[in-house]
Structure 1
Amino acid sequence: MKPASVLILILVFSILSCGCTSPPPAMKTVRVAYLPTSDYAPLHIANEEGFFAEQGISVEFVKVQSSAAALPLVLNGDIGVYAGPMKIGLVNAITKGEHVRIVADKGRVARGPCTAYALMVRKDLSDSGAVRNVSDLKGRKVAERDSDYDLYHALALGNLSADDVDTIDMAFPMVIPAFANGAIDAGLVTEPYLTEAVNNGTAVVLAPAEDFIPDYPFILFYGPAILDKDPELGRRFMVAYLKGVRQYNEGKTERNLRIISNYTGLDRDLLNRTCWFPIREDGYVPRGPVRDYMDWMYDHKKITLNLDDDQLFDMSFAEYANGVLNNTERTPGKQ
């Protein structure tokens, strides 16, 4: 055998025997908008457990006041990933050609043992009988935040419209003191503020969200910073995110509670009492509830074009991530 052939064989044998693997991808930063609520937990879990780092990703979390406030930052490329419900501003941006897409589930309104989102009313109004039903809210002050669709359907339970109440735009953290000092009579409230309001005796649930927007989705979106500039980074991000979702779905473990409390600044005991939104482990987002919202916006002339699914969804990232994760689970010796 020629010396060169021997050298090649030795090199191949050395590589195989050492168990060498391909080097990890170069570290890249992804900026992610978030709110201090528990449904953002999979992102924080993935970061804390090193799932993003495994994919060569360093996440920079950017706290925003609402998903609507994050949209301009997404459109100009300053933020690559954000989450929340579908909103009119987002749909109008896509209609104008902006490249933002639904890429994964981040929670949904679902009927179950607890309620994570609801129309609430001040406890004193409920106890006195002044407000027993949604119809009793006529003429009263109702807090909401980016909640046109939600409010429409909640008020419809009492044959009311937004014109029948005094709506007040209010961030979720401000709802609790507003209930306490009588500044509002009712409001749309999500966790953990829902549980906080019930526990401190300032408000009670008047109508759970599953009664007026069943299966309503909260969504993970990618913007042009990923879709246009680095889709491969988006695939790796999704692998880490869905690993975070799987750990989130293990429930209120000590580890999960500690991570979420650390990232949100919320009390651990409060988090343990809250209702957590269910999130699909495969990241799949059902088309039906999204289509219902699109049809509602179009019918109410909130948007000028009823976008089709190809203009709203790009599930290729979740499909890729599921392939990677399912293959890893089937491979002996892999965790």
Structure 2
Amino acid sequence: MMFNAMPKRLLSMKAVAAALLVLVLGACSRNEMQQLSIAINPWPGYELLYLAQEQGFFHELGLDVRLVELNSLSDAQRAYMSGQVDGLTSTLVEAVLIQVDSAYPLQVVIPTDYSNGGDVILAQAGITSLTELKGKRVGCEANSLGIHVLYHALRRVGLSLSDVEVVNVGQSQGSEELALGVLDALVTYPPTSIEALKAEGVHKLFTSREAPEEILDVLSIKQSVLERYPALPQQLLAVWQRAYEYTEQHPKQAFAIMAEREQVSVEEFETMFNNEIHVFDKDGALQILRDWSSLTNKLMETCEVLKEINQHNSNCSRVHTMVNREMF
């Protein structure tokens, strides 16, 4: 007979090979990237991530990302610190506060933008200079970027936080209270600032353009996630660049998508994106990350200022691990 049964030895070898294949596939499955959740709040500099989600760029580059849309920097900070998300977009202020006080250490993976006029202090019509804020009620997110912006603005004119009445208030509520005259001034940012400026007499008293490159926005990811998936930073940066290039090549379509999420007109969003922030492309982001000593120094300075204004009482040494020199 021409077709004999396989020898037992060959059967045994094939069975072993099949078992090994199952083990390998099982290991691959266990190491496969799980869904990554990122807290994001309205701010034009973060919108490339939303654009990437809408255009399917995460999926194209092998990532399963869920953007958790929240109302403010403070909300994103709380979501991360409570373990609800794997990462967040924020300024260095929120990232540092998380690092020194949270059970979930993080690392900066993408510097997204510098604020270049987007962060503002708005005031009622009768207040025409920062010195006139003395004794006034100033609203801000007290455990977030707002208090930091107010501290630096007041310091420029010889005032301190103790010279004003700081009112801890969220973005939407702060805008309403400024319009009603409950607040004399408000620390805010787009898109809230756009709506707040529509109230009669409300005007810009201070903008981040007066403090160039002071406010750096970043995407940070939980350190334990990065340890499991060391290729993740490169993948996220590739997605970011894809969205950046799409915006360059198709500005009309890109701005329409991003403006809709920010709930502003396309014209308003385009003005914010082009004039009030400086968004980094891949090379710009890498330049900041590779100059790790300068970035670490900036993180340390931020941490020390936050400690000075009683936003935390922890040791700032933990911020040194927020920048991974081997990441890129």
> TM-score by structure 1 length?
0.73
Closer, same or farther: CA 263–192 of 1 in aligned 2, 3 Å: closer
CA contact (8 A) 1:141 1:167 kept: yes
Aligned to 2:131: 135
Aligned to 2:323: 313
Aligned to 1:67: 73
CA contact (8 A) 1:32 1:80 kept: yes
SS at match of 2:240: helix
Query: Per-residue deviation at 1:299?
Result: 5.2
Q: Pick the structure with more helix per residue.
A: 2
1:50 matched to 2:49? no
1 CA distance for matches of 2:46 and 2:251? 16
The runs of 5 or more residues in structure 1 that have no matched partner are 1-24, 126-130, 320-335
1:116 matched to 2:139? no
Query: Per-residue deviation at 1:87?
Result: 3.0
Which structure 2 residues correspond to residues 75-114 of structure 1 after superposition, within 5 A?
75=81, 77-87=83-93, 90-91=96-97, 93-94=99-100, 98-110=104-116
Query: Per-residue deviation at 1:169?
Result: 1.7
SS at match of 1:62: strand
1:206 matched to 2:230? no
Query: Per-residue deviation at 1:139?
Result: 1.3
Aligned to 2:173: 174
Query: Per-residue deviation at 1:230?
Result: 2.8
For 1:10-56, what per-residue CA distance to the aligned partner results, in whole angstroms no more than 9, with x for missing partners?
A: xxxxxxxxxxxxxxx97842211111221211101212222211112
Query: Per-residue deviation at 1:99?
Result: 2.5
Closer, same or farther: CA 225–246 of 1 in aligned 2, 3 Å: farther
2 CA distance for matches of 1:144 and 1:62? 23
> TM-score by structure 2 length?
0.74
2 CA distance for matches of 1:313 and 1:266? 34
Percent of residue pairs identical: 16
CA contact (8 A) 1:216 1:290 kept: no
Q: Which moves more between the two structures, 184-193 or 289-298?
A: 289-298
1 CA distance for matches of 2:230 and 2:270? 36
Closer, same or farther: CA 57–221 of 1 in aligned 2, 3 Å: same
Closer, same or farther: CA 164–299 of 1 in aligned 2, 3 Å: closer
2 CA distance for matches of 1:76 and 1:36? 20
- Structure 2 counterpart of 1:29, which letter? Q
CA contact (8 A) 1:83 1:220 kept: yes
For the aligned residues, what is the CA RMSD? 3.0
Query: Per-residue deviation at 1:264?
Result: 3.1
Number of residue equivalences: 283
2 CA distance for matches of 1:117 and 1:210? 8
Which structure 2 residues correspond to residues 1-335 of structure 1 after superposition, within 5 A?
28-75=34-81, 77-87=83-93, 90-91=96-97, 93-94=99-100, 98-110=104-116, 115-122=117-124, 124-125=125-126, 131-145=127-141, 146=144, 147-212=146-211, 214-224=213-223, 226-248=225-247, 250=248, 253-274=251-272, 275-282=275-282, 283-284=285-286, 285=288, 287=295, 288-298=297-307, 302-307=312-317, 310-314=320-324, 316-317=326-327, 319=328
Aligned to 1:12: none
For 1:86-133, what per-residue CA distance to the aligned partner results, in whole angstroms no more than 9, with x for missing partners?
A: 2368446447774211121121133xxxx21111111x32xxxxx221
SS at match of 1:87: helix
2 CA distance for matches of 1:121 and 1:269? 24
CA contact (8 A) 1:217 1:289 kept: no
Query: Per-residue deviation at 1:199?
Result: 4.4
